[in-house]
Amino acid sequence: MKDIYEELAIATGVYLEVVERGWGFPGSFETEKAMNEGWLKVERVANKDRVVGLTRRHGMSLGNAETVQLASECGAELALADEAEVRELLEEHGVRVRGCIGILVEAARKEVISTKKAKKAIGRLVETGYRISDNVLKEAYRLLGEEP
C-alpha cells in the first residue's frame, strides 16, 4: 500500500476494530506495522455527533461511520472501502472509492506487483468468499489485460 499511495490515514474507530479488537486477525499486524513505520496515520474525527447519526441511520459500524466522516472532514479525494453502503456514502460526498480489487489492479498498473500476482490474488479473494459482481470481476481482468 505504501508503494501505491502517498498518504494513508485511518479513523480511530478503524484502528480499534482492526488492531485492538481484531488483534491476531488478518490485517491487524500489517496495520500496526504501517503505523509504526509512520506511513499510516490514525486520525480522530471532529464531528462525533455526525458519526453517531451515521451509525444509527445506516446501521454501520463505528469504524465505517468514522471513515465516511473523516473523508468528509479531511476533504479526501480517494478512500479505500469495500462495503457498498460506505462506498455509496463516500461517493455522495464526492470522494472516489477503491476497494480490494481496485487496489490490486492499481498495484499491477503501477508495477508494484505483476498482473499475474494481481489476478491470482483476486482469485483467492473470490475463493474465500469475497463478494464481487461478475461485471466488476470482468472489468478488473480487462484492466489487467487478461481474461478471467
CATH code where residue 70 lies: 3.40.50.1010
Is the same domain home to 69 and 92? yes
Condensed to tens digits (0 to 9), the pLDDT of residues 4-56 reads: 987 899 999 999 999 999 888 888 999 999 999 999 999 999 999 999 999 99
Average pLDDT on 80-108 reads 93
Is the same domain home to 73 and 33? yes
Task: Copy the grid coordinates of residue 42.
Answer: 490514525
Question: pTM of the predicted model, to two decimals?
Answer: 0.84
Cα distance between residue 129 and residue 26, in whole Å: 15
- Give 146 or 119, the one with higher predicted confidence: 119
Cα distance between residue 147 and residue 119, in whole Å: 10
- Domain span at 88: 8-98
Our count of domains for the chain comes to: 2
**Would you state the pLDDT for residue 22?**
87
Residue 148: inside a domain, yes or no? no
Is the same domain home to 19 and 76? yes
**Would you state the pLDDT for residue 147?**
58
At residue 112, does pLDDT exceed 70? yes
At residue 1, does pLDDT exceed 60? yes
At residue 117, does pLDDT exceed 90? yes
Is the same domain home to 105 and 123? yes
Residue 1: inside a domain, yes or no? no
